[in-house]
Chains A and B, each alone.
Chain A
Amino acid sequence: MLHEVLLIALKDLRVEWRSKVTLGQVAPMGLLVLVVFAFAFDANTRLLELGAGGLFWVAVLFGGTLLIQRAFEVETDDGNFDAFRMSTIRAPSLFLGKSLGIFIQVVLLELVLGPGIVLLYNVRIDDWLLLLAAALGGTLAFSVCGVLWGVMAAGTRVRATLLPLLLVPILAPVLLAGSRAFETAFGVRAEAGWTWASLMFVIAAVHAAVGMGTFGFLLEES
């Protein structure tokens, strides 16, 4: 199974490496979002510092949604899911492989956005371990949820508008938990940051289990 997962993830990453969409288009767009947030808050440094955690995750949501849409467009445009169904690759492996591919791309996006909020919003990091744990949990949750909803919207003519409608309400607890955990890591809020970080791992685990169990149903019709 691990071999199949890696095969799918590497295929997706190879496609992205050749097209350079993540680093060439999505990451700069994410940085742009951080700049636009400063316009919304009238460049109030204190407000931006307080809200940096939430703004980071909203920027990840925007950029990540584009990555998920693209990850499924490249499959559905050429009818690749039919090929997967005829291959020996099992649906849970495909789900985990797509999730791993998205996870790595979102990590790349975060590696651009992270320094972005430190530099633009004047953020100081107090707890590196919590920050890394929250980023890991949040990114895992985002990836598995994204792939699960991505395949649901895949192949439809309205996928560009349907995916955010499906994805955002389900990801809301991740955004909430990620924001609170980051704010604790930044020292702007004295809260149970580790509890919030743990919640994101729980959400990731639940969606991963559901995704592995149901991806076969969804794949049949994509």
Chain B
Amino acid sequence: MSPARGNKYMTASPATRVLGVVAVAAALLMALLGLIVSPADVVQGQAVRMLYLHVPSIWIAYGAFVLTAVSSALFLIRSRRREDSGRHHDRLAGAAAEVGVVFAGITLVTGMLWGRVTWGTYWQWDARLTTTVLLFVTYLGYLALRRLPADPMIRGRRSAVMALISIINVPIVHFSVDWWRTLHQKASLSVGRRPEITGEMYWTLLYSTLAVTIVASWLIVHRYRVIRLEELRDEEALNALIASRLREDE
């Protein structure tokens, strides 16, 4: 049963179940295209297949962090107008940040594996790698701030301000390869510029971006609902404690 129809203890609804099935199917097709249909690269060999996960992951991470910032801004605006208003924006910010951190982590791991095969080393202190790891750690800090035991509104406002400031790091990461001209290869896909890859690889990469976006959307929806359930649990536990204390007084 969907939460909208009365059972508030569920995280799925008919729509998100469909989304989940689509996400699994999209991921399977992505694996098929990336591992079998798409050819090996002339220069990078089989390692190019790593990019079908690596590139969409960082795009999702950027998108998730932007969503966190926008939701945080809305939360700050709404929470000032009326007490307890805009909590859903705070939940969305938290859910998006968690998913963003996971995909930033996937970007780092796949990038290191790709680097080992292509550059001969797991890690290079180039600008993009370094700033990506900083972005990752920044949002780990954001999640740590969200975990602090405090009033949800207090915690939400602090986290929202942090999210707004942290978003400054996102463009630094994305354009650092152009700013600092380093070892990292130029972006494979870029708006308004001819792609560095073509043919089946290009379409596989585009499709992978779509598939990973569907998976990330599904994850964000479920994380949002789990956060809401955690808040409900805390509120009910608090109410039970208050009721028990009142009974003691009687």
Q: Which residues of A contact B (CB under 8 A)?
A: 148, 152, 156-158, 162, 165-166, 168-170, 172-173, 206-207, 210, 214, 217-218, 220-221
Contacts and interface: CB of A to CB of B under 8 A. Distances in A.
Interface stretch (B93-101, B161-169, B203-211): B161-169
Interface string B137-158: 1101100110011110110011
A214 B141 contact: no
B168 to A, nearest CB: 7
Given A156-B150, A218-B157, A221-B157, A162 B145 contact: yes
A217 B141 contact: no
15 contacts: A152-B145, A152-B158, A156-B150, A165-B141, A166-B141, A166-B145, A168-B137, A169-B138, A170-B165, A170-B169, A206-B168, A217-B76, A217-B161, A221-B151, A221-B158
A73 B76 CA distance: 26
Nearest to B142: A166
A170 B165 CA distance: 9
A217 B140 contact: no
Contacts of B154: 221
Contacts of A162: 141, 144-145, 148
Given A169-B137, A172-B134, A214 B145 contact: no
B172 interface: yes
Nearest to A166: B141
Contacts of B164: 210, 214
Nearest to A153: B145
Contacts of B151: 221
Contacts of A172: 134
A218 B161 contact: yes
A210 B144 contact: no
Contact of A166 (B157, B162, B172): B162
Nearest to B162: A152
Contacts of A158: 148
A195 to B, nearest CB: 11
Nearest to B155: A221
Contacts of A214: 76, 161, 164
The main secondary structure of chain A at its interface with chain B is helix
Top 7 A-B residue pairs of the complex, sorted by shortest distance between their CB atoms:
A221-B154, A169-B138, A166-B141, A214-B161, A165-B141, A169-B137, A169-B134
A152 B164 CA distance: 13
B161 A152 contact: yes
Contacts of B161: 152, 214, 217-218
Nearest to A207: B165
Nearest to A155: B150
Contacts of B148: 156, 158, 162
A211 B242 CA distance: 38
Counting chain A CB atoms within 10 Å of each CB, the highest count among B144, B154, B158 belongs to B158
Contacts of A156: 148, 150
A97 to B, nearest CB: 19
A172 B131 CA distance: 9
Nearest to A217: B157
A158 B149 CA distance: 10
A51 B141 CA distance: 28
A122 to B, nearest CB: 25
A218 B158 contact: yes
Interface in B20-49: none
Contact of B140 (A152, A157, A165): A165
B194 to A, nearest CB: 30
Interface string B164-179: 1110110010000000
B105 to A, nearest CB: 15
A169 B141 contact: yes
Contact of B165 (A165, A210, A221): A210
Contacts of B140: 165
A168 B140 CA distance: 12
A172 B142 CA distance: 16
Contacts of B158: 152, 218, 221
B72 to A, nearest CB: 11
Contacts of A221: 150-151, 153-154, 157-158
Contacts of B149: 157
Of residues B161, B164, B172, which shows the largest number of chain A Cβ atoms within 10 Å of its Cβ? Answer: B161
B145 A170 contact: no
